[in-house]
Structure 1
Amino acid sequence: MKNILLGVTGSIAAYKGADLASILTAQGYRVDVIMTKGASAFITPLTLQALSKNRVYTDVFQEEDPSEIKHISLAKKADLLLVAPASADVIGKMANGLADDMLTAAVLAVRGIPRCVAPAMNTRMYENPIVQENLEKLRRHGFEIIPPKEAVLACGEVGRGALADVGTIVKKVKEFLREDGGIS
């Protein structure tokens, strides 16, 4: 069984992180979820726990087992890292090596596996040169960026920034894990 480390960040698209956890779990993957504080403002850890059938991690300082450092052990057992949705804040932290929460600490600990980031934010934020520089920096460091789509955004504007379709993200995951695409 392949292990996917799914990071869900603070975005209106956080509910699609629940869809991803549900679909990937149903397709036989083990999905370990890390949520940022911002993500927890949109959906609850309990939702992702029920859908992934695994504990959801939210706090880098809440270590339940003193014999293991959880953000390190999650990174070690992962076959793929997927951050979806990825907010501008978390993209900036990842691009600059910051690790002030459970997700960004785990991202820094991941080695030798595919790392996928699916941005989701307002068009004005997505097109900001700083965000684009951070995405380019992630690309240079081996991250695969799953581009957002153009859609009606939460603010009512139409533009690029909506999280890529869940089916597209699942297909990319399967490609990186060298499995055939498509959602069952």
Structure 2
Amino acid sequence: MKSMILGVTGSIAAYKAADLAHRFYKQGYEVEVILTNGATKFITPLTFRSLTQNRVYTDVFQDDFPHEIKHISLATKADVVLIAPATANIIGKIASGIADDMLSTTVMAVKNKPVLIAPAMNTNMWENSIVQDNIAKLKKYGYQFIEPKESLLACGTLGKGALADLDDICNAVNAAVNP
């Protein structure tokens, strides 16, 4: 059985991550979900626990794993990491080596495994030079990006920044796991 970490960040597209989690679960993946604090404002841990039959992680300092360092054990166990949706914030954190929450800390502990990032944000944020520099930096380090699509965004803007189609995300993850 393949194991994956699904990182979900604080974007309106977080609700689509529930469908992703369930799709991967039905494909036979063991799905471990990590929600950022922002993600919990859009969708609850209970949703993911119900869809994956697994514990959901929200805090690096959760005290219910006394015999392991959970961000290390998750990073070691996973065959692939998917961050979907990925905000400009998490992309910037990873690009800067900042590890200050469960998701960024776990990603920093991943070694020699594919990490795929599916951004979702406002067009102006997507096109921001700093965000694009962070993406280029991460690509240089081997992180894979699943480009957002052009769509009518939650803010009412028509432009690039919507989460990629879920089929495209699933295909990219499966290709990364089974090259």
Into which bin does the TM-score normalised by the smaller protein fall? over 0.9
Q: Distance in 1 between matches of 2:152 and 2:49?
A: 29
**1:182: which partner in 2?**
none
Give the drift of 1:65: 2.2
Residues 12 and 42 in structure 1, CA contact (< 8 A), matched pair in contact too: yes
Q: Distance in 1 between matches of 2:94 and 2:63?
A: 22
Q: Deviations over 1:43-77 (max 9, x none)?
A: 00100111111000000011312210101000000
Alignment-mate amino acid for residue 114 of structure 1: P
Q: Deviations over 1:100-155 (max 9, x none)?
A: 10000000000111110000000000000000001111101110010000000001
**1:32: which partner in 2?**
32
Structure 1 gap ranges (5+): 180-184
Q: How many residues align?
A: 179
Local SS of the residue matching 1:62: coil
TM-score by length of 2: 0.98
Residues 63 and 70 in structure 1, CA contact (< 8 A), matched pair in contact too: no
Structure 2 gap ranges (5+): none
Q: Distance in 2 between matches of 1:65 and 1:146?
A: 33
Q: Distance in 1 between matches of 2:95 and 2:20?
A: 23
**2:59: which partner in 1?**
59
**2:43: which partner in 1?**
43
Q: Distance in 2 between matches of 1:55 and 1:102?
A: 14
Residues 151 and 161 in structure 1, CA contact (< 8 A), matched pair in contact too: yes
**1:163: which partner in 2?**
163
Moved over 6 A (4+): none
